Amino acid sequence: MNNLFKTFNQTKYQLVNHGPRNVSVLKQALEVIDGQQASDLYGKGKIIENFQEKMAKFLGKETAVFFPSGTMAQQIALRIWCDEKQLKTVAYHPLSHLEIHEEDGIKELHQIKTILLADKNRVIELDDVVTMNEDIACLLLELPQREIGGQLPEYQTLEAISRYCRDKGIKLHLDGARLFEVLPYYQKSATEVCELFDSVYVSFYKGIGGLAGAILAGDQAFTEKSKVWKKRHGGDLISLYPYIISADHYFDLRKGKMDQYYYDAKELARLFNQCSGLSTIPQEPVSNMFHVHFDFPKEKVISILISIHQETGIGITSNLRDTSSESCYSEISVGDQYHQIPNDELEIMFQLLKERLSGLSFIN
Ligand SMILES: Cc1ncc(COP(=O)(O)O)c(C=O)c1O
pLDDT at 324 over 90: yes
pLDDT band at 363 (very low <50, low <70, confident <90, very high): low
CB of 177 within 6 A of ligand 1: the answer is yes
Rounded to whole angstroms, the Cα distance separating 128 from 133 reads 10
Rounded to whole angstroms, the Cα distance separating 203 from 208 reads 8
pLDDT of residue 146: 98
Rounded to whole angstroms, the Cα distance separating 205 from 214 reads 9
Q: What 3-state class would DSSP assign to 50?
A: helix
Q: Please spell the DSSP secondary structure of 263-298, one letter per residue.
A: HHHHHHHHHHHTSTTEEEESSS-SSSEEEEEESS-H
pLDDT of residue 327: 97
Amino acid residing at 31: E
pLDDT of residue 2: 80
pLDDT band at 3 (very low <50, low <70, confident <90, very high): very high
Which atom of ligand 1 is nearest the CA belonging to 213?
10
Q: What 3-state class would DSSP assign to 72?
A: helix
pLDDT of residue 239: 98
Average pLDDT, stretch 255-273? Answer: 98
CA distances (Å), 175 to each of 61, 71, 260, 269, 290, in order? 15, 10, 23, 25, 18
Domain spans of the chain? 3-20+257-363, 40-238
Q: What 3-state class would DSSP assign to 212?
A: coil
CB of 203 within 6 A of ligand 1: the answer is yes
pLDDT at 364 over 60: no
pLDDT of residue 320: 97
What is the per-residue pLDDT across 26-81, written as a single tens digit (0 to 9) for each?
A: 999 999 999 999 999 999 999 999 999 999 999 999 999 999 999 999 999 999 99
Rounded to whole angstroms, the Cα distance separating 168 from 340 reads 50
CB of 97 within 6 A of ligand 1: the answer is yes
Amino acid residing at 49: E
CA of 252 to the centre of ligand 1 (A): 21
Mean pLDDT of the chain: 97
pLDDT of residue 360: 87
Q: What 3-state class would DSSP assign to 342?
A: coil
Residue in 279, 284, 282 with CA at minimum distance from that of residue 267: 284
What is the per-residue pLDDT across 104-155, written as a single tens digit (0 to 9) for each?
A: 999 999 999 999 999 999 999 999 999 999 999 999 999 999 999 999 999 9
Dihedrals phi, psi of 205, to nearest 5 degrees: -125, 10
Pocket probe for ligand 1: among 97, 146, 200, 288, the residue whose CB has the most ligand atoms within 8 Å is: 97
Rounded to whole angstroms, the Cα distance separating 327 from 325 reads 6
pLDDT at 95 over 60: yes
pLDDT of residue 128: 98
This prediction has a pTM of 0.97
CB of 175 within 6 A of ligand 1: the answer is yes
What is the per-residue pLDDT across 219-243, written as a single tens digit (0 to 9) for each?
A: 999 999 999 999 999 999 999 999 9
Q: Which residues of 102-129 are buried (b: 16+ CB within 10 A; e: fewer)?
A: beebbbeebebebbebbeeeebbbbebb
Pocket probe for ligand 1: among 21, 65, 71, 99, the residue whose CB has the most ligand atoms within 8 Å is: 71
CB of 146 within 6 A of ligand 1: the answer is yes
Closest-CA residue, ligand 1 atom 8, reads 70
Rounded to whole angstroms, the Cα distance separating 60 from 74 reads 19
What is the per-residue pLDDT across 145-187, written as a single tens digit (0 to 9) for each?
A: 999 999 999 999 999 999 999 999 999 999 999 999 999 999 9
What is the per-residue pLDDT across 40-54, written as a single tens digit (0 to 9) for each?
A: 999 999 999 999 999
Closest-CA residue, ligand 1 atom 7, reads 70
CA of 93 to the centre of ligand 1 (A): 14
Read off the DSSP letter of residue 38. Answer: P
In the CATH hierarchy, which fold is given to the domain comprising 40-238? Aspartate Aminotransferase; domain 2 (3.40.640)
CA of 53 to the centre of ligand 1 (A): 22
pLDDT of residue 362: 66
pLDDT band at 361 (very low <50, low <70, confident <90, very high): confident
pLDDT band at 329 (very low <50, low <70, confident <90, very high): very high
pLDDT of residue 210: 97
Rounded to whole angstroms, the Cα distance separating 142 from 178 reads 9
Q: What 3-state class would DSSP assign to 162?
A: helix
Q: What 3-state class would DSSP assign to 6?
A: helix
| Ranges of H-type helices in the chain | 3-9, 24-30, 46-59, 70-85, 97-100, 105-108, 126-130, 155-168, 179-186, 190-194, 220-232, 241-254, 258-273, 298-312, 343-363
Q: Environment class of residue 173 by beta-carbon count within 10 Å: exposed (0-12), middle (13-18) or buried (19+)? A: buried
CA of 95 to the centre of ligand 1 (A): 12
CB of 18 within 6 A of ligand 1: the answer is no
In the CATH hierarchy, which fold is given to the domain comprising 3-20+257-363? Aspartate Aminotransferase, domain 1 (3.90.1150)
